[in-house]
Structure 1
């Protein structure tokens, strides 16, 4: 017998499932929402009816009744960056423990898309929103919060009416630069940009602090238009075109993509990494350790950040009256690899 759904027939509703299974409508609701209180035989009869009819629960309608869906929306600035992928996995792992589903959206470094996804999630009546935002005004998120939607920032500090989970970016810049100094290198360069990005500016401050601790060290600052691989190509071309004595001995690139592009171009120009120039990146992206020369990098605990942000959001959803907004700061870690292993 063909049991595939007939597109010409209306979609089955809970009342159809109840009639087909020979149970009350409330029993179907309990099977869907509180299955542990339904006898196994009855539960199986209802589940079989659901399968046979092709019933799909309408969570949008359910959220209109309950005022809250069992879902959380997460707007990520760049799903192509493994840091944010790790973060999303941490969020999902924590939400799974509370039987909450995750809806993931990629703003693709576009403020209009970021704001539109916040609106979409708000209209869908999700239980709350996690936001890994662009470095830009958060007007849409603030408006959603003022309408009662819990919002937690990830990789961005909180404020008076929202929590945030961040990494100590200044410490990360310090660790990267201190590592180069500990290799005996003194002519260093920091590359990244634009400096209007708060994370880049904080990493630069950390690099300056490390250099200030060593009397004969010097830090050159190179502001790039972006922290992409393409930006790294331009950086590598600029450094390799200099006379040997005018090149830095160590390079701290504010992102792994920037470091990877620079390394590739410098190698093509005949420079050797790390003997001619040691390189440290940032983010500990997955490709950093798989490059032709594995890249030393400062890693941010993306998975832990995601889990923590989801925990904080769940606290606010479950008990908003007693919830206290706060910013949680996590510690970065330096992962040493061949790109800076000067001997």
Structure 2
């Protein structure tokens, strides 16, 4: 790649003149400015802003590591952070760890080596050792949608227990009394918390509502397809009239199987998800779900990160912000006519 020295030599000017063209063009005579800009274009020169920032002892970039960019929650988190960063003349660099802990660790190391100002991390599992290592290197880190329970870094959370509670409460309120909770293993914190919320809502119903818990190996559609196959007979036998899937992708897969088996949704059984994933909105039956406030999470996470960067490790007090989820009612639980009244 051509260097600034190559540009100066090609244009026949001093290095300082090229620097002024790049950083203070108003100081350069028009004819000289045009000559240097022409040399830049002819050589294909691109400034190394990262090196410039490192030389100045600062970076205008922060890293964001998410577990699954296909989930619109994490897309919204990125958008919220990027919008706030743009207002401040900063950049957010996004890495998708694709549901792999080893890739998440590699992404954190990459941003650490790139000397970003700080890191936003939205994991699904405990990453305390990696976060502690990054923070020891002077890289402030804010956790998103995961409660470390330690208070050693700032956090922005959605009340995931409330997510499960809202989902179960909605089905109970519309008269469903035989519920199933379809979800992954509890080592995934959001799954465990949503399960707890579902149990709380059922317990409050005082015995008039039953709950069956159906585990899945993963949170992707194949897990939902397998789970649904075991639920069809229960719906037909009148032993199940409401399903809460811990993710929208699971819910949409369950609806797909029910439809193929002639089970009416929501006539025979109401089905809903829990994470308002836009990837699941395009089905034949619009899905009731719970809004996770991803835009607000990204914006608030960046605000906390920049506050810690500005204050330094000694002057900063870690805080946790908890966002409230919101129920979004659609056709999969109340039918088309009733859903239209919600718009």
Q: Aligned ranges for residues 56-205 of structure 1 at < 5 Å?
A: 56-157=46-147, 159-205=150-196
Q: Distance in 2 between matches of 1:96 and 1:317?
A: 17
**What's 2:327 paired with?**
334
Q: Deviations over 1:261-296 (max 9, x none)?
A: 111111111110001000110111113332111110
Judge conservation of contact 2:71–2:279 (CA < 8 Å) in 1: no
Q: 1:100 to 1:30 in 2, by over 3 A?
A: farther
Task: State the secondary structure of the residue aligned to 1:232.
Answer: helix
- 1:287 paired with 2:282, answer no
Q: Identify which range, 218-227 or 77-86, moves more after superposition.
A: 218-227
Q: Secondary structure at the match of 2:198?
A: helix
Q: List structure 1 runs of 4+ shifted beyond 3 angstroms.
A: 15-33, 35-49, 158-161
**Which position in structure 2 is the counterpart of 1:6?**
none
How big is the shift at 1:178? 0.8
Residues 7-18 of structure 1: matches in 2 within 5 Å?
11-18=1-8
Question: Which consecutive residues of structure 1, in runs of 5 or more, have no partner in the other structure?
Answer: 1-10
Query: What is the aligned-residue RMSD (CA, Å)?
Result: 2.3
Separation in 1 of the partners of 2:171 and 2:85? 40
1:310 to 302, 306, 315: 302
Question: SS state of the match for residue 272, structure 2?
Answer: strand
Q: 2:40 pairs with 39, 43, 50, which one?
A: 50
Among residues 323, 330, 339, which one is paired with 2:316 in the alignment? 323
Q: TM-score, normalised by structure 1?
A: 0.88
Contact 2:21 2:28 in 1 (8 A): no
Change (3 A) 1:287 1:64: closer
* Contact 1:288 1:296 survives alignment (8 Å): no
Q: Which runs of 5+ in 2 are unaligned?
A: 339-343
